[in-house]
Amino acid sequence: MTRADQITPKDANEAAVLGFYTNLMKKDLDGFKDIWAEDAAQIMPFYKGIPGLQPAWRGKDTLLAYYLASIPKRRDHVFWVDALHRTTNPDVIVAEVRANSIVGDTGRRYDQQYVFVFHLRDGRIVQNREHFNPLVFRNTFPEFSAPDVPVEPEPEAPRADELTAKTPNEQLVLTFYQSLMAKDFDTWGGLFNADAKQENPFMPGKDGLAPGFEGRDRIVFHYRTVLENRRDLVFRIHAIHQSTDPNLIIAEVGGTSIVPETGRIYDQRYVWFFHLKDGKIQRMQEYFNPLAFESAFEGFLVGEGAVEN
């Protein structure tokens, strides 16, 4: 983990991405403005559960309105970069980042973790897909209100079982979601190495909820137990990003299903990191919205299965 202002960019695209962080750290709002294209958009896939937070801000002036209102009030703002993932599309960079700051109005400490997916054009950001932990956001900004701007939700993405893979890695990822939709846990389990592990960075810290799982058998047991009674399970693929590392592939995904224990619709967004070894999943990071999770599973927690809360 390295401070964003201690990393030397390799090209104009990395300079724009790192400028997103370093200009905010310096409160250089003129420099911050300059890294965005005029038609830029900021997308917040994990917006659900935070009143007033829009799923997207479209247009440079619109998205800057939020930053210009909030950043001058922050103190000791530091971004730490866990990883900058270059993809086979040179204009897409995925960043795993942590940040901490002091909120000037309240004195609260804001410790946040992110996955940013930057789309760039001519060395400027044209789209930033910002995945953050909304549970942390809600607890730090309980009276949050966003600028009054029009809401334009994203178009519906294709189902995983409607897509055709272009590469073996894409086929692995599509099979991952297709076999879960079909509840074919034998095929699904065969995608993992025996000593694979899963990490859930945004899992709420409650008894009965695991921040991760060790070993293929434990991972398969969890998914089989949790999903075998789920109804109308559908995964939709918003994007699959092949890293320049052939053993890393990143997927932006939406999932919906009906939770039998509550009768509620579980409408979730994810970013999945698949780290491969010998063509199978060795490590899996699953980022999701914990507020959407808590809403759908109210009264139940998903650990060894569905257990009373």
Residue 74 confidence (pLDDT) above 50: yes
Identify whether residues 303 and 164 lie together within a single domain: yes
Question: Is residue 26 in a domain?
Answer: yes
Q: Which of 109, 140, 171 is the last residue of a domain?
A: 140
Which string of DSSP letters, residue by residue, matches 5-41?
GG---SSHHHHHHHHHHHHHHHT-HHHHHHTEEEEEE
Residue 306 confidence (pLDDT) above 50: no
Q: Which residue has the higher pLDDT, 293 or 15?
A: 15
**What is d(CA 181, CA 55) in angstroms, rounded to the nearest whole number?**
26
| pLDDT > 90 fraction of the chain, expressed in percent and rounded | 74
Give the pLDDT of residue 15.
98
Identify whether residues 97 and 223 lie together within a single domain: no
Residue 70 confidence (pLDDT) above 70: yes
Question: Is residue 9 in a domain?
Answer: yes
Identify whether residues 171 and 118 lie together within a single domain: no
Give the domain CATH number at 16.
3.10.450.50
Range of the domain at 260: 160-308
**What is d(CA 118, CA 124) in angstroms, rounded to the nearest whole number?**
10
Give the pLDDT of residue 177.
98
Identify whether residues 173 and 295 lie together within a single domain: yes
Identify whether residues 12 and 59 lie together within a single domain: yes
Beta bridge partners of 113: 98
**Average pLDDT score over residue span 9-37:** 96
**Average pLDDT score over residue span 203-207:** 78
Question: Is residue 149 in a domain?
Answer: no
Identify whether residues 133 and 195 lie together within a single domain: no
Identify whether residues 80 and 20 lie together within a single domain: yes
**Band of residue 42 on the pLDDT scale cut at 50, 70, 90:** very high
Residue 95 confidence (pLDDT) above 50: yes
Q: What is the per-residue pLDDT across 127-174, written as a single tens digit (0 to 9) for each?
A: 999 999 999 999 998 887 765 656 666 788 999 999 999 999 999 999
**Band of residue 308 on the pLDDT scale cut at 50, 70, 90:** very low
Q: Which of 140, 170, 194 is the last residue of a domain?
A: 140
Question: Is residue 266 in a domain?
Answer: yes
**Band of residue 303 on the pLDDT scale cut at 50, 70, 90:** very low
* Predicted structure pTM score: 0.94
Identify whether residues 135 and 176 lie together within a single domain: no
Q: Which of 47-51, 132-136, 173-177, 272-276 has the lowest mean pLDDT?
A: 47-51
Question: Is residue 102 in a domain?
Answer: yes
- Asked if residues 292 and 48 have their Cβ atoms less than 8 Å apart, the reply is yes
Question: Is residue 106 in a domain?
Answer: yes
Question: Is residue 177 in a domain?
Answer: yes
Burial class, 54, CB count within 10 angstroms (exposed 0-12 / middle 13-18 / buried 19+): buried
Residue 299 confidence (pLDDT) above 80: no
If one counts the domains in the chain, the total is 2
Residue 237 confidence (pLDDT) above 70: yes
Identify whether residues 52 and 134 lie together within a single domain: yes
**Average pLDDT score over residue span 276-301:** 89
Give the pLDDT of residue 309.
35
| pLDDT > 70 fraction of the chain, expressed in percent and rounded | 93
Identify whether residues 94 and 167 lie together within a single domain: no
Give the pLDDT of residue 18.
98
Mean of the per-residue pLDDT values of the chain: 91
Q: Which of 91, 110, 140 is the last residue of a domain?
A: 140
Question: Is residue 300 in a domain?
Answer: yes
Identify whether residues 302 and 177 lie together within a single domain: yes
Identify whether residues 203 and 270 lie together within a single domain: yes
**Band of residue 302 on the pLDDT scale cut at 50, 70, 90:** low
